[in-house]
Amino acid sequence: MAKKLWGGRFKKNIDKDFFEFQKSIQYDHKLAKYDIMHSLIHVIALYWANILSVKEKQFLLSALKEIQETINRGKFKHNMQSEDIHTDIHNKVEAKIGKLALKLHTLRSRNDQIVFDEKSYCYEKGRLLVKFLADLGASLKFLGNKYRKTLIVGYTHTQRAQKIYFAEYIGAFCNMFERDKKRIFDFLTRIEIHIGAGALAGSLIKKECYDKAIKDVAQSNLFSVSKNSIDDVSDRDFIIEFLSDLSILQMHLSRLSEDLIIFSTKEFNFIDLPEEFCTGSSLMPHKKNPDFLELVRGSTGKIYGNLMAILTIMKGMPLTYNRDMQLDKEPLFSSVETIEQELKIISKFIKKVELNLAKINAALKDVGLSAVDEAAELVIKKGISFRDAHDIIGRKIRELEG
């Protein structure tokens, strides 16, 4: 296994099975980009705090920037023997500039780094998903517009209810994804990405040094110095809130999928699904299955399960940081990446959906679909009460059905 960031007080070597069980590099390498940002700010803060000389600062920064460059070019390779991404980057810096690297982690804690990294990840991914939701909205609007004068059957209880406009039906989904956008947007607005919490008790480096360093490194005002270090290292609210928002979004995707699956059955046959997103059967040659929609619907299990996972982890967690919290990353990445893929594909998919107007128009002839209008007419023209009109029309339909 690779070098560790601790160990002086330990007499015995770490158990190998335990080392494998506890390491997080296999997933937290995805945070490399943000972890470098933390290191850049930290190194400059150490310089302003007179802990690093100009030279030391420069050597450290240039090593870090080389790694940053590799990450940006998509060429970063993590060492699976490292304990975590923080250690991995530390070791890479050491490989570049030798013993000076041992000053990188001065007065810093991984507890501070990880929450900085994860919040940055959520922030960037949240913005991406907002964009993807806008794309999906555009696709839905495209489809709604294409059939903007088309009436379809509206359902309650999966039973025919009243005629509705297809565009308004599609508009309902636009509303849902619009709410998702706003919800994520509000979430992003409330995120505060802090640096300088130390392990739990704040940093011996003064706030001013961090303030200057943040200005030097990052153009945005995304980052700021820790105000309550205990809260900072203990907090995982942002992950739960993000996964909650994604659960609602996923629920919307599952409802859209369910409707399209039903509408594309041979029996409804109101829509044609784009073949490029269907698969066949290895046994039954005639099959064209709505696999994409089924997989989207089924992904609800994963997204809900991930939310339940992080909620369970954080239940009754004593302050401040506990190692349980390392397990927040897999559910976070899993939900974000799944939703990313779904949104990307469904935006293409929706544009290619086609209505089968012949079938729809045949269904629209169902007399039941006008029952409300008939009752309304009785109310307005004959002045009888709606309850009575409802009864009259109800009995008429009973007789029609024999």
Sign, CA dihedral 109-112-114-116, equals negative
Q: Which is nearer to a second copy, 211 or 330 (CB)?
A: 330
Pair 91, 3: CB distance under 8 Å: yes
* Exposure of 268 in the CB half-sphere (CA atoms within 13 A): 20
Which of the residues 157, 220, 282, 286 is marked catalytic?
157
Which of 348, 351, 356, 364 is close enough to bind a second copy by CB under 8 A? 348
Of 119, 98, 33, nearest in space to 68 by CA: 33
Q: Is 123 a binder of a second copy (CB under 8 A)? A: no
* Segment interacting with a second copy (CB under 8 A) among 70-78, 125-133, 139-147, 178-186: 178-186
The smaller minimum CB distance to a second copy, of residues 219 and 266, is found at: 266
Between 70 and 341, CB nearer to a second copy: 341
The verdict on 95 binding a second copy (CB under 8 A) reads no
Residues 350 and 220: their CA atoms lie apart, in Å, by: 36
Cβ distance 363 to 153 under 8 Å? yes
CB of 224 vs a second copy, minimal distance in Å: 14
Long-range contacts of 120-123 (CB under 8 A, 24+ apart): 120/31, 120/33, 120/34, 120/37, 120/193, 120/222, 121/30, 121/31, 121/34, 121/332, 122/191, 122/238, 122/239, 122/242, 122/332, 123/188, 123/191, 123/193, 123/222
Q: Which of 346, 249, 258, 254 is nearest to 307 (CA)?
A: 249
Is 157 a known active-site residue? yes
Which parts of 284-343 interact with a second copy (CB under 8 A)? 284-292, 294-295, 297-302, 304-327, 330-331, 341-342
For the window 225-264, what string marks contact with a second copy as x by the rule CB under 8 A?
A: ---xxxx-xxx-x--xx--xx-xx--x--xx-xxx-xx-x
Nearer to a second copy, 69 or 388 (CB): 388
Q: For a second copy, which residue of 10, 54, 75, 220 counts as binding (CB under 8 A)?
A: 10
Per rule CB under 8 A, is residue 143 in the interface with a second copy?
A: no
Q: Least distance in Å: CB of 344 to a second copy?
A: 6
Q: Is 119 in the site for a second copy (CB under 8 A)?
A: no
Nearest to 299 by CA among 353, 243, 248, 253: 253
For the CB of residue 25, give the shortest distance to a second copy in the complex, in Å. 14
Which of positions 50-89 make contact with a second copy (CB under 8 A)?
A: 51, 86
User: Judged by CB under 8 A, does residue 186 bind a second copy?
Assistant: yes
Query: In whole angstroms, what is the distance from residue 236 CA to residue 217 CA?
Result: 26
Catalytic residue numbers?
Answer: 157, 281
